[in-house]
Structure 1
Amino acid sequence: MLLEPDHHPQVFFAAVLSSMRRAFLAIGLTSGFINILALTGSFFMLQVYDRVVPGRSLPTLTGLALIAASLYVFQGVLELLRSMLLVRVGISVDERLSRNVIGSLMYLPARTQIPGDGLQSVRDMDQVRSFLSGVGPTALFDLPWMPFYLALCFLFHFWIGVTALCGSLVLISLAILAEFLTRRPAQQTTRFASSRTAFAEATRRNWEVVLAMGFVNRVADRWADVNRSFLRSQMRTSDIVGGLSTASRILRMMLQSTMIGVGAILVIKEEASGGIMIASSILVSRALAPVELAIGQWKGFVAARQSWARLKHLMDMLPAEGWSVRLPAPRSSLSVENVSIVAPGTREIVVRNAALHMSAGTVLGIIGPSASGKSSLVRAIAGVWPTMAGCIRFDHATLAQWQPEELGKHIGYLPQDIALFDGTIAENIARFDKAAPSEAVIAAAKAAGVFNMIVELQDGFDAQIGEGGSRLSAGQRQRVALARALYGEPFLVILDEPNSNLDAEGDAALTQALLGIRARGGIAVVVAHRPSALAAVDKVLLMRNGLVQAFGPKDDVLRQVLRMDAAETPSVRLVTDGETGK
């Protein structure tokens, strides 16, 4: 379970922000002192021009310089502390969100189609942390002090205040314009970036195929098109922000000069002193600095805001249910009751009204042509895909009544696409359980017939297998994944094409594993095209076009398959070992 029972996504995000309340309060107070200390330059110039120069007093200048230097040092220390606090806020938010974000990579593919490479949520979390840890938020904390600076300008003189107010309104208008002009380009840049990363990842995974079949240049051309779209979108966003940032900087410099000009007129009219003329120019520069900084950081602000919105939407899709009763481990039966399944993110029904019942000690083989719904059915039985209609029960209780972590202990699953993690063989077999007893890991390896293969490696169970098991052969990866499925002697073991990469020795080990499951009173479900995978099964389920065509004892169903072959339905025919080249 990722979210606590009382943590609705909105409540969860409110709790995340609430936990940062003290940090934000500290940053706000620090920003207040920083903005007050920022007056040091203005008042230093005011005192120098109005007191030191007319009085020709070097001791006064020395005292003022020492005071100003001390205040500047204190301001620098506070700015450093504020920066450090912002970094820690970003890290804290990342830590609070990280479990839910990584959980989304596992939960959401079963519920919807994930665009791009599926890692947008990770990038969103990085974007939020990066923005919070940067200089962008300082502008947000400094902006509320803008009226304070403008008020001081009015205290200096009415027309100085009016000039500063007009300049502020112009810069604020630029900030609002930045919001409207960058929203759509920023969204397009995010989409193109996701597509670009997904294509690069696909290229990395399929480099052998591309290299062997000689379409490297065509893939490179395709990458150039995808990359060009991303770069153009990014360039448009950068151009808009860069143009507005340049305009704001020019306007601020013009406003400073205008302020000196207005001050000069007031000095000539003897309505203000020279010190006020210089001090007001420095003061208005400080007043407008947060607006200029906000415009310069607007691209990052928009990206972080969009990322935050996507993360909130992500939490809406994650399960947040609570389980008050912990059910006992299943022991007697598996029932599939009129189950219909829709592929995640689509409306296409891939399995329709499937029904079967198995008691403990049964091994079921599922056969049928490609795209007949075999893998979809076992994904639903494993709890990976949700059911559109009907239900699946362990010992009369639906799967939803178990906590996912508890249910996983009673299920072993070997999918078609073998997925191992970078780590040791022992860690992969034990499903990364840090408290896994060595006896259980060894028992799973022996049950999968892979113990001897493992101990013959130089580091044995502690051998590092690399990303995705890259240091193992395809057959070795499949047998290690089989051991992982058998770890802990789960009640239900689901094997989808478990012998696709196995040799004769691996086939024999698979048969012994299935017999072991039957002997200990478990249930095994095997999806197979080759007869060798059916050697240990008791019952066979035949599927075609998403429908269960037959279910019963192995011999009865296989005779029905032969009759269907004779009636010109070769798509149901099992592939023999001779035809696969084994």
Structure 2
Amino acid sequence: MMKSNFAGGSDHRLAPIMPLLRRTFLGIGIVSAFLNVLLLAGSLYMMLVYDFVIPGRSIPTLIGLLLMVIAAYVFQGLLDALRGQLLIHLASSVDLQLEAKAHDVVVTLARLYPAQDPGQPIRDIDQVRGFLGGPGPVALVDLPWVLFFVGVLFLLHPWLGATVLLGAGVLIALTLLSERATQATMAELVRLNRNRQQAIDTSRRHAEAIHAMGMQGQLQGIWREANGAYRDAQVTMSGKASALVTASRMFRLFLQSGVLTVGALLVLSGEASGGVIFASSILSSRALAPIEATIANWRGFVAARQSWRRLGDIMAFDGERQPVQMLPPPSQSLSAEALTLAPPGSDKPLVWSISFLAYAGEAVAILGPSGSGKSTLLRGLAGSLPPLSGAVRLDGAMMSQWPRQVLGRGIGYLPQSVELLPGTIAQNIARFDPSSTPERIIAAAEQAGVGDMIQALPDGYNTEVGIDGRRLSGGQRQRIALARALYGDPFLILLDEPNANLDSVGEAALIQAIRSVKARGAIVVLVAHRPSVLVAVDNVLTLRDGRALSYGPQPDSILQGTQAK
């Protein structure tokens, strides 16, 4: 299952991004080199003013030095802005490279592994993008320049360099301590946040039932427990990070005073000039600033690193490999060959070794008691559930031989739980196809017998259906979803209890729709508890406990009972 697909190197799917990262960070490194060298300007200016300008009382020299340091500061600002823009562009480019694959993975995870959090890849991309566009990478890029500034301090005097080098070692030790203290907590924080999101999403999805049955208190308790666990972990995490940041800042202040003290002692002993005191103070601040900034951004770095690793694993998950289209659209037959299916995230079959064959222009009804595997079988025929064994074939070819987007245009699917997508009725019927035409949309609606109902609405086909289609009644959603299934004249039409929410008028329209699509050579497979729709069916597949009991023309007793009703 999922673990096997996730095995292997986590950078497999991130490999296309690596050249972009290398080029960008190479450019950032070059910009940072010039920027850090220019940072010496302030220290040199201070030394020259105290050691030459003031003793010589030379105003022209002071003005010349001032103009040079202003120019250096202007270039610093420009280079710093350029570095920031490079990082922002990099963050946006990474998002652009990953967005399409991330969306496909989210859909696949939601379909095949409902226990997983399908939204995590999107949050991971947000985390990586936010880190790349923030101050964290700047601190990491500037870290090697700590040695450069320490080296300059050694040139001023070995004791100054040794003092700052010792301080840098202490700050690095604090950084490593921060790593040990936050890594496990950060992973736990991600897990608790996932539980928290699932709790609130459950309450949102089932709001009507919760309100009707007075379950607010119980669901609120579940939410508060999940949110409380997340809050406590976040407080712990923030406390550790805050303590380490505070400790590093306090030590840096102490170290800065220590550098001034060492510089003063060197001046008193005649081993350094007065300007060295101020220059060493500025240089020590420059040397330690990247370390302190790294500590301050360490939590974001750890979170981004974990997100990057998860993205590497997620992107290595291929789901379904899309073949190059070689075959024409299916038009002749549908067959199931010893098809065995399990629910998402499980390897325990609900449907065992089902086999049947249907030809163009036929309709097949799947009958059986509740829990016999009817809806699971229909999902397998739609390709939504990969088989544990066996195969589904169209025109003798396995469904995997068509690209999913191409095959999807030849399949109309009405699931048991009808949920329309946010948008207009026309967009939902057209499956959000940007190339759809009003004529094709209206044709599908008329074929489903829902055209008059849509036109009776105030905004007609432009009516907004709302989230999950909640602005419409259950019967209206069902009939519009039927029109969506019929849009584009698909060859295979799969209907799961299509008459569950329909009145007599809706059922009559459904029966007529089944007959019309059969007449144009399509195959219809439907699940039905109410037998009235069976008058349009040619063959019946009967299931019990996930196994096929019989397949063939429907018995006269079923047909007579249907007609009697």
TM-score w.r.t. structure 1 length?
Answer: 0.92
- Residue 6 of structure 2 is matched in structure 1 by none
Report the Cα offset of residue 318 of structure 1.
2.5
Name the amino acid aligned to 1:72. Y
Is the CA contact (8 Å cut-off) linking 1:149 and 1:283 kept in structure 2?
yes
Report the Cα offset of residue 322 of structure 1.
4.9
- Residue 44 of structure 1 is matched in structure 2 by 45
Is it true that 1:474 corresponds to 2:474 in the alignment? yes
Is it true that 1:518 corresponds to 2:518 in the alignment? yes
Is it true that 1:343 corresponds to 2:348 in the alignment? no
- Residue 504 of structure 1 is matched in structure 2 by 504
- Residue 527 of structure 1 is matched in structure 2 by 527
Partners of 1:211 and 1:113 lie apart in 2 by: 25
Name the amino acid aligned to 1:31. S
Is the CA contact (8 Å cut-off) linking 1:526 and 1:533 kept in structure 2?
no
Is the CA contact (8 Å cut-off) linking 2:11 and 2:313 kept in structure 1?
no
Is it true that 1:79 corresponds to 2:80 in the alignment? yes
Alpha-carbon displacement from aligned partner over 1:350-390 (angstroms, at most 9, x marks no partner): 11111111111111111222221111111111011100111
Partners of 2:86 and 2:45 lie apart in 1 by: 30
Is it true that 1:62 corresponds to 2:63 in the alignment? yes
Report the Cα offset of residue 325 of structure 1.
4.5
- Residue 145 of structure 2 is matched in structure 1 by 145
Name the amino acid aligned to 2:228. R
Name the amino acid aligned to 1:201. D
Report the Cα offset of residue 261 of structure 1.
1.1
Partners of 2:532 and 2:10 lie apart in 1 by: 49
- Residue 16 of structure 2 is matched in structure 1 by 15
- Residue 416 of structure 1 is matched in structure 2 by 416
Is it true that 1:178 corresponds to 2:182 in the alignment? no
Partners of 1:24 and 1:378 lie apart in 2 by: 51
Give SS of 2:412's match. strand
- Residue 364 of structure 2 is matched in structure 1 by 364
Alpha-carbon displacement from aligned partner over 1:90-129 (angstroms, at most 9, x marks no partner): 111111111111111222234334434x211111111111
Give SS of 2:449's match. coil
Give SS of 2:357's match. strand
Partners of 1:219 and 1:344 lie apart in 2 by: 25
Is it true that 1:222 corresponds to 2:205 in the alignment? no
Q: Relative to structure 1, is the Cα distance of residues 350 and 134 closer, same or farther in structure 2, using a 3 angstrom cutoff?
A: same
Report the Cα offset of residue 323 of structure 1.
2.5
Partners of 1:342 and 1:108 lie apart in 2 by: 15
Partners of 2:317 and 2:114 lie apart in 1 by: 12
Alpha-carbon displacement from aligned partner over 1:387-434 (angstroms, at most 9, x marks no partner): 011111001101111111111111110111212211121111111111
Is the CA contact (8 Å cut-off) linking 1:110 and 1:386 kept in structure 2?
no
Partners of 1:322 and 1:344 lie apart in 2 by: 21
Partners of 1:9 and 1:62 lie apart in 2 by: 58
- Residue 303 of structure 1 is matched in structure 2 by 303
Give SS of 1:467's match. coil
Is the CA contact (8 Å cut-off) linking 1:368 and 1:374 kept in structure 2?
yes
Name the amino acid aligned to 1:426. A
Partners of 1:452 and 1:363 lie apart in 2 by: 26
Structure 1 segment 82-231 matched on structure 2, within 5 A: 82-116=83-117, 118-231=118-231
Identity among equivalent positions (%) equals 46
Is it true that 1:443 corresponds to 2:443 in the alignment? yes
- Residue 326 of structure 1 is matched in structure 2 by 326
Partners of 1:51 and 1:489 lie apart in 2 by: 89
Alpha-carbon displacement from aligned partner over 1:438-479 (angstroms, at most 9, x marks no partner): 221111111111111112222222222222222222211111
Name the amino acid aligned to 2:100. R
Segments ≥4 residues shifted beyond 6 Å: none
Report the Cα offset of residue 26 of structure 1.
2.5
Structure 1 segment 24-35 matched on structure 2, within 5 A: 24-35=25-36
- Residue 426 of structure 2 is matched in structure 1 by 426
Partners of 2:324 and 2:465 lie apart in 1 by: 39
Partners of 2:395 and 2:89 lie apart in 1 by: 49
Partners of 2:259 and 2:314 lie apart in 1 by: 50
Q: Relative to structure 1, is the Cα distance of residues 235 and 557 closer, same or farther in structure 2, using a 3 angstrom cutoff?
A: farther
Partners of 1:9 and 1:458 lie apart in 2 by: 53
- Residue 565 of structure 1 is matched in structure 2 by none
Report the Cα offset of residue 276 of structure 1.
1.3
CA RMSD, 1 decimal: 2.0
Is the CA contact (8 Å cut-off) linking 1:335 and 1:358 kept in structure 2?
yes
Is the CA contact (8 Å cut-off) linking 2:335 and 2:394 kept in structure 1?
yes
Name the amino acid aligned to 2:177. L
Structure 1, unpaired ranges of 5+: 1-7, 563-573, 578-582
Structure 2, unpaired ranges of 5+: 1-8
Give SS of 2:350's match. strand
Q: Relative to structure 1, is the Cα distance of residues 298 and 556 closer, same or farther in structure 2, using a 3 angstrom cutoff?
A: farther
Is the CA contact (8 Å cut-off) linking 2:10 and 2:309 kept in structure 1?
no
Is it true that 1:315 corresponds to 2:315 in the alignment? yes
Name the amino acid aligned to 2:113. T
Is it true that 1:385 corresponds to 2:389 in the alignment? no
Alpha-carbon displacement from aligned partner over 1:276-311 (angstroms, at most 9, x marks no partner): 122112111111111111111111111111111111
Partners of 2:46 and 2:208 lie apart in 1 by: 70
Is the CA contact (8 Å cut-off) linking 1:540 and 1:557 kept in structure 2?
no
- Residue 396 of structure 1 is matched in structure 2 by 396
Stretch moving more, 20-29 or 391-400:
20-29
Give SS of 1:469's match. coil
Partners of 1:351 and 1:320 lie apart in 2 by: 22
Report the Cα offset of residue 557 of structure 1.
8.4
- Residue 580 of structure 1 is matched in structure 2 by none
Q: Relative to structure 1, is the Cα distance of residues 332 and 454 closer, same or farther in structure 2, using a 3 angstrom cutoff?
A: same
Alpha-carbon displacement from aligned partner over 1:321-364 (angstroms, at most 9, x marks no partner): 35244211111111100011122222211111111111111111
Partners of 1:240 and 1:390 lie apart in 2 by: 54
Partners of 1:429 and 1:215 lie apart in 2 by: 35
Stretch moving more, 339-348 or 56-65:
56-65
Partners of 2:76 and 2:430 lie apart in 1 by: 54
Partners of 1:477 and 1:263 lie apart in 2 by: 80
Give SS of 2:150's match. helix
Structure 1 segment 478-493 matched on structure 2, within 5 A: 478-493=478-493
Name the amino acid aligned to 1:372. S
Alpha-carbon displacement from aligned partner over 1:20-50 (angstroms, at most 9, x marks no partner): 4433332222222221222222112111221
Give SS of 2:377's match. helix
- Residue 3 of structure 1 is matched in structure 2 by none
Report the Cα offset of residue 556 of structure 1.
5.9
Is it true that 1:274 corresponds to 2:279 in the alignment? no
Name the amino acid aligned to 2:313. H
- Residue 244 of structure 2 is matched in structure 1 by 244
Report the Cα offset of residue 61 of structure 1.
2.5
Partners of 2:533 and 2:190 lie apart in 1 by: 46
Structure 1 segment 539-578 matched on structure 2, within 5 A: 539-555=539-555, 558=558
Give SS of 1:85's match. helix
Report the Cα offset of residue 57 of structure 1.
2.7
